[in-house]
Amino acid sequence: MTMTIQTSAPIRAKRKPVRTRKRATFDTMLGRAFLQIAAIAIFFGIWEAGVHAGYISAFLMGSPSGIFASFYQKLLSGELLMDSWITLFEAILGFVIGTIFGSLFGLALWYSVFVAKLVEPFIVAINSVPKIALAPIVVLWFGTGLISKVALAVSLTALVALIAAYQAAKDADVDLQSLMISMGADKHQVFFKAVVPSTLPAIIATFRINIGFGLVGAVVGEFISSQRGLGHMIFNASSLYDLNSVWVGLFTLMIMGFALYYVIDIIERTSLPWKQATTSHQVQV
């Protein structure tokens, strides 16, 4: 009796789905940059086509070609660079002062629970007031120069940094603090060795929010009273119904905020490499 042995067909490697391969193609720095640039080009292309077709009013909305012409003119005259530098300087100065002092004060509240509970209602009350409403008072107090714009930026950034730092200090690892105290550490050592390192991620994350608030404070101050700056340019252009120049100022602010956001990202990656190592991988679903 003869037995026939059937050999199984060779196992074929599973092919990756087309959708996964396409996503992997664009899931790179160049791929993402291509998609982002394409989205911007499509947006402006539809906008320009709508203006030429008469569906979008160039008087009320402006046009990409008019925005580019206005941008080129202001760039050649040096007006755009000067206004951008003034607004950037005011925003960064307000951001640095407000963030540093707000963070230090928020961390200092960790030292005394009594003082923290005492001032907490005042912090909440001040934070609930729209800081934009303080602009006329700030201008009256500090004049129409640089100080009033920086003061507005500080008022917007300081409380955000204070609340974030105080909350992070309260959420610091209690078990680690107890362990250090049991090993003979005093309050200052617990603060600098346990509390401050644990609050750094939250404080640096606040930088991303505060850099935008710094720009808001500077621009609002320029709206109220100023001779130069992007806020001054936008206010004057809107008064003259020059929508193209308004868009030039707004897009310049967007680019400025985008650049500053990535500067903060570089600072975070440099100062907290261990945080990047633990959050660099995400679960793909």
Q: Residue 281: is its pLDDT beyond 70?
A: no
pTM for this predicted structure: 0.78
For position 274, what pLDDT does the model report? Answer: 63
Distances (CA, A) of 219 to 153, 215, 230: 9, 6, 7
**Percent of the chain whose predicted confidence (pLDDT) is above 70:** 86
When pLDDT is cut at 50, 70 and 90, the band that residue 93 belongs to is very high
DSSP for 79-142?
Answer: HHHHHHHHHHHHHHHHHHHHHHHHHHHHHHGGG-HHHHHHHHHHHHHHHHS-GGGGHHHHHHHH
Question: Model confidence over 35-62: pLDDT tens digits?
Answer: 888 898 999 999 999 988 888 888 888 8
In this predicted structure, the answer to whether residue 167 has a pLDDT above a threshold of 50 is: yes
Whether residue 1 is predicted with pLDDT greater than 50 in this model: the reply is no
Q: Which two tokens stand for residue 285?
A: 């679903």
Residue 20: pLDDT over 60: no
The mean-pLDDT minimum among 16-25, 131-140, 162-171, 257-266 falls in 16-25
Whole-number average pLDDT of the chain: 82
- At 174, the pLDDT band (50, 70, 90 cuts) reads confident
As a whole number of angstroms, the distance between CA 98 and CA 95 comes to 5
